[in-house]
Amino acid sequence: MKTVWLAALLAASGPVCAQDLASAAPDVTAPSSPQPAPVTPATREGLLLTVWDESSLDAVRAFGRLMGSQALRGDPVVERVAPGIVALVAVGPLLRPVGRDEIEPLGLSSAQALALARTQLRAALPPLDQVARPVAADVIGRLQGPAESSRVLLHADWASLAQGQQGQLLVAPASPDMLLWSADTSAAGRQALRRAKREALESGDRRASLPTRTLLRWTPLGWEPVH
């Protein structure tokens, strides 16, 4: 089943030619009848971070070219956070990536936008130790709420939870508002976490799955992608 991680941008940008989208981003499936909705404008106070696979950036750039100023103005504002994983400055409940041409009128450089977005992300999320507890190896934990998937970009916050799971912590960003985690980093545990992510996206009212298909293993030095 193809991922539908650009459904959020489609819905926010109005109808788009499915043939053009397939040509520009062949791994993307467009909804059959996207519903136009206002695009969340980029403002200083609205900047947050979202997590993406680095390999997906060409697709979002192609989508921005297709939709013009409605979806993305300029290249996305990006910071590499792990091999193959990047943080993007974003806005709105669906974490729409923001282009460089959108932050310049705000008087921000790319570095300043990334720093501000990280500060505001931390302020927007309740402390991790208040919403997540260590789980047993056969249990999948779930965090759900605005920008919850972006918690992986606050790496140090996960140290206590990892310690409570004997150093075994595997996370799966699922959608802009959902993140799953487990304490089983074995091959069977990885398979179980991927299956839980797929089932959650299929059964819930998820408007888009993030283009982060890679699982992330916590280490003291940073996240380690697990393919």
In the chain, where are the structural domains located? 7-124, 128-226
pLDDT given at position 73: 66
How much of the chain, in percent, has pLDDT values that exceed 70?
73
206-217 in b/e burial notation, b at 16+ Cβ within 10 A? bbbbbbbbbbbb
User: Which residue carries 């980029």 as its tokens?
Assistant: 42
CA 5 to CA 52: how far, in whole Å? 10
pLDDT given at position 63: 57
Q: Is 51 buried (19+), middle (13-18) or exposed (0-12) by CB count in 10 A? A: buried
Q: pLDDT per position in the chain (227 positions), as tens?
A: 334 444 444 443 333 334 434 444 444 444 444 454 467 889 999 999 999 888 887 766 665 555 444 456 678 899 999 998 999 999 988 888 898 989 999 999 999 999 999 999 999 999 999 999 999 999 999 999 999 999 999 999 999 999 999 999 999 998 888 999 999 999 999 999 999 998 888 876 555 555 567 899 999 999 999 97
Tokens of 156: 């140090």
pLDDT digits (tens, 9 = 90+) for 160-211: 999 999 999 999 998 888 999 999 999 999 999 999 998 888 876 555 555 5
Report the amino acid identity of residue 43.
T
CA 48 to CA 122: how far, in whole Å? 9
SS3 label, residue 214: coil
**Sign of the CA dihedral with 149 first, then 209, 34, and 96 last:** positive
pLDDT given at position 41: 87
Tokens of 35: 């519903």
CA angle 147, 145, 56 (to 5 degrees): 40
Cβ proximity of 101 and 74 under 8 Å: yes
CA 218 to CA 165: how far, in whole Å? 11
CA 179 to CA 110: how far, in whole Å? 26
Pairing of strands 85-91, 141-144: unpaired
78 CB contacts (<8 Å, ≥6 apart)? 57, 86, 87, 88
Concatenate the DSSP letters of all residues of 133-154 into one string.
Answer: ----TT--EEEESTTGGGGGG-
Average predicted confidence (pLDDT) for the chain: 80
